[in-house]
Every structure is written in C-alpha cells, then in structure tokens.
Structure 1
Amino acid sequence: MTNNIYALLVAIDEYPSPVPSLNGCVNDILEIQEYLQGRVAADGDKLHIRTLLNRDATRQAVIDGFREHLCQASSEDVAFFYYAGHGSQEQAPQEFWAIEPDRLDETLVCYDSRTEGGWDLADKELAKLISEVDQNNPHTVIILDCCHSGAATRGELEAETAIRKTSTDKRQRPWDSFIFSLSETEKLSAALSPEKNPSGWSFPTGKHIVLAACRDSETAKEYNSNGQPRGAFSYFLLDTLKKANGSLTYRDLFKRANALVRSKITAQSPQIEAT
C-alpha cells in the first residue's frame, strides 16, 4: 500500500532587522528535502512537500502550511514538520501564567514576526496546529533546529558559531493575535514538567515524535561542514540517516545523532519526546 508523506519544511536565514541573520538554515532544509525525495521514492510512497524559505516563511504561511497541507494527512500517512531558524520567547498573557511560571511563551520566529504588527508563533499555537493535524490520526513527526531560552556560553572553538536564538519579544501581545480562543487554552496546554518536556516545548497528546536541537536551557548552534554552514543538530541527524540508509528506529537515530552533536558542540544536548 502506498502511503502519503506530507512535509512542511521551513527555513529562515534572512530576517528583517533587527533580528540577526543566520547562515545554515536554508542549507539544512534543502538537504533534508533532497533526502526525502530520494528516500520516499525508493520506498514507493508518495511525497507532498511544501517548502517555505526566508521571506516566504511568514507566520501566516506557516499556519496555512499546517491547515492546508499537513491536515491532508490521514491515518496511514505521515505529517512531517521541520523548522530551522530562530527560536525565542515572548511575554505570556496573564491567562497563561498558571502554566508558565516564568511568564514567557516559547516561540518560533517567523520571517515577519518582529515587524510592525507581526508576532512569533507561540508554542501553544504550534500545539493547536498539531492537534488539528491529529484529527485524522496520522503519524506526526516534528523536528525543531532552534532554541528559545538559556544563556549558554560558547567556548573559543565555537566563537564564530551562530546561535539560533534571538532576543525575547517584550511587547505585550494582544489576546486576539493568537489563533485560538481563551476556552481552548487549558485543553491545548500540557503541564510544562522538566521531566516530561525536557525540550521545553508543549504539545498535545497523540502519535507524535518530537526531536529538538537542545534542552530549554541551552542554545542550538550552527556548524561548518566543509565550509558549508549547517545546523549542528540537522547536520548530524541527516548524516546519521544517510549512513544507516534510513533503517533506524527514532530512538536509535536520536542516540547516534545526539552522541555526535555532544562530541562536537559544547552545551548542546538534543532531546526526543514521544507520545
């Protein structure tokens, strides 16, 4: 039986000022896109890709990518979201304070997030979008090569390495800028327990695998591979997949990639969460 793989691939290197630019995000996504195209064709499945790069990766475009593209995945299909770019935090509305002791939401920084009238994509909005995808019960895989908190310092060898984190958005965000109603927040927001969610991201229950570049107290760094900038996590994850010819469980894939990242990069510990 031919299965469908719906992939939403998002990479942002070139942000409008004042968000600092990155170097390896687009490289990461183009590499994973090429890998998926070859791998899925070899397996006889059908691949549906929507790729958003730089200025195309607006907040609304990412939301539409979930609702118009990933939500097509059914129970025999895979819904795959890969984000490479800046992560950050923003001031949480008072309604979230009970589940966010630091009063901050974790966020993905879309291309237009820090422009006038723009906002980040909050973790609870990401949870809402994933829950919408999950209505048809596909197998959902989320990979985040970014970070959102912490102040880990870099050693001398990494002094020129870019970090995929930008400053906290301290604007007071209006409630009507979120994609859900107030009544949905309790249902969508899982308790942020360090034991249950070491990556710091909060997701709804369902068949989900989440691979995150680092713990919530660390930073996701870029890595130079033969002169080509890449995300350290993305590079070693894909390198592991290629060498194993794709025949790995998620747990084994994570263990190998994690060991490689930690051997090359200081203060970065990738995380895996499965439900």
Structure 2
Amino acid sequence: MKKYFNDLGVPKHRIRLLLGHVDGSMHDSLFPSRENIIKTLHDIRDNPLIEKGDSIIVYFSGHGSHYFCSNYFYEIAGGSAHLGSVEAICPADRDELDREGNPISDISDRELNTIISLIRDTKGDNITLILDCCHSGSATRGMSLLASPGHLRDLPPVSNRRESVLHSADTSLQKYWPGAPSVLAENWSPDMTSHVVLAACREFEFAREVRRDDGNVAGIFTDALVTALRSGVSEMSTYVDFCNTLRIAMAPFQTPAVAGRKKDSLLWYRQV
C-alpha cells in the first residue's frame, strides 16, 4: 500500500507507517504496538496539516480477533447487550505485559469506531478505513493460497479477563479525549456516518494470505486491492463498485465487504 501511494505521488510527510519486524523493538515509535496505533490515530485528529474535508485513509493489515458480548454484559430479561460479539484488531504487542503488569489488550471495533468519529468531528467525514484481517466485516495467477490455520489472519482472544478489551478501550479513550462516549454502554451502537470501511471478508469468513512468485506473503485482500487500483479504476467508481470488483477477483476464497453511510460516494471521495 505504501508503494502504491508513493507511486501516486503522495508526499512522504503525508504517510505515517507503523511496521512490525521479527526483530523489532516494542519500544520503537514506529512499531505497531497498541499504544503507537492509538496515538497515531489520535494524531490525525490533532494534525494541523490535515484540513477539514481532506481525504484520510487508515489501513490495517494483520490479525483480527473477537470477544463474545456475554463476557461483558449479563443477560437480563428483554435485554440484548449480551448478544453478538466485539470484533478487534490485534496490535503486535498483544498479551505482552504493560507497565502495570497487565496483559496488553486488542483494539476493539468499538474503540476504533469511536476514535474515527472523533477524527470526523475535527477533520470531516471523508475517511476510508481498510481492514485486511479476520472479523473486520480467486487466487491470483502466479500465487499459491495459504489456507492452513497458520496462514489465516485470526487469533484467539487475549486472556479470559472479562474486563480486558472494553475496559482498556474506555481507559484509553478518556486519556486522549476526556468525555468521549463510553464503549461500555449497553446501548452502544457503531457510528457509520463518520467513514466508509472496506473489509477483507464477511464476519463468518477468514482473511487469508497468498504467496507471490517472489516469495513474499501478503493478504489476498490487499493483493487484490492494489492490483485493482493499479489496473485503473474508473473515475466514476463508487466504493460499492470497487468492492464488487474485488469480490470477483477474490472469489471463491473470501468475500470483501463495504459499509458506511457514504459507501455510494466516489472512491476516495473524489469530486467530479
């Protein structure tokens, strides 16, 4: 993705990259730790170089996980808060111990959605979220599909502590934005007016990886995404149109999804 945007001529200072390496240090400011991912997202909101209405793209490639709502909310007569699940993206330092000796949690969809809503309030709603991981919502010629469990972008939840992922989210949000909406509210619902999300697969599917001829491994979704963009997307293509193009390229292995109030907007919110 970075090379694609570089080739488009996007200035380097407009791209912020967090990249994990096998021998990378968790204390490196560019390491995709939970703290660095959260800080980078909040920095978008506070960056004076980003003007209201600018097109903002947030891309995550890695593992995803999920947590059952019944672990957080008790079942009550007539209630529904205990139903369903909380989806999450996995930072590179998940399950390591923080400064207080507690396991570092994943980043829940509730936390991510709330942060993007806060960005929208300052920078506008021209925001695209791209998630190449499991629980985010054809093998190309010259590639082999890696379909074994070790090559699925899915990880089990971090620890069994019932308060882990949502309480960590609430604490982090209040740290960066006192008064932010609580993700622990039983009537919480996602704000889909703030962005459009392109997800690697549907909830009941797994995001898979492919190995290219050069030996490099990439998400099948990211590979299809970049291939489609480089092949020349029509200037009149909407997010829905683009997702349909990806579905054809990725069938039958997984089905990408698109959601958001502005999903019928032109890709990257172009104006005509």
Q: Counterpart amino acid of 1:36?
A: F
Instruction: Identify which of 86, 92, 95 aligns with 1:114.
Output: 95
C-alpha separation in 1, matches of 2:5 and 2:205 = 29
- Conservation of the 8 A alpha-carbon contact between 1:90 and 1:171: no
C-alpha separation in 2, matches of 1:47 and 1:209 = 24
Determine the structure 2 residue equivalent to 1:50.
16
Whichever structure has more strand as a proportion of its residues is 1
Q: Give unpaired runs (5+ residues) of structure 1.
A: 1-31, 151-155, 191-202
Determine the structure 1 residue equivalent to 2:4.
35
Q: Is 2:270 the counterpart of 1:271?
A: no
Alignment of 1:44-193 (within 5 A): 48-54=14-20, 55=26, 56-72=31-47, 73-90=50-67, 92=69, 94-95=72-73, 98-102=80-84, 104-116=85-97, 117=102, 118-136=104-122, 137-148=124-135, 158-160=146-148, 162-169=151-158, 170-174=160-164, 176-178=167-169, 179-180=172-173, 184-185=182-183, 186=185, 189-190=188-189
Deviation at 1:40, TM superposition (A): 4.2
Determine the structure 2 residue equivalent to 1:231.
219
C-alpha separation in 1, matches of 2:16 and 2:5 = 12
Determine the structure 2 residue equivalent to 1:250.
239
C-alpha separation in 1, matches of 2:37 and 2:135 = 18
Determine the structure 1 residue equivalent to 2:193.
206
State the secondary structure of the residue aligned to 1:254. Answer: helix
C-alpha separation in 2, matches of 1:40 and 1:189 = 40
Determine the structure 2 residue equivalent to 1:261.
250
Q: Give unpaired runs (5+ residues) of structure 2.
A: 21-25, 138-143, 175-179, 262-272
- Of 166-175 and 206-215, more deviation after overlay is shown by 166-175
Q: Counterpart amino acid of 1:243?
A: S
Q: Counterpart amino acid of 1:35?
A: Y
Deviation at 1:100, TM superposition (A): 4.8
1:63-108 deviation line (CA, Å, top 9, x unaligned)? 1011113553432201211000110023546358744504x42111
Q: Counterpart amino acid of 2:87?
A: E
- Conservation of the 8 A alpha-carbon contact between 1:106 and 1:123: yes
Deviation at 1:188, TM superposition (A): 8.6
Q: Counterpart amino acid of 1:121?
A: I
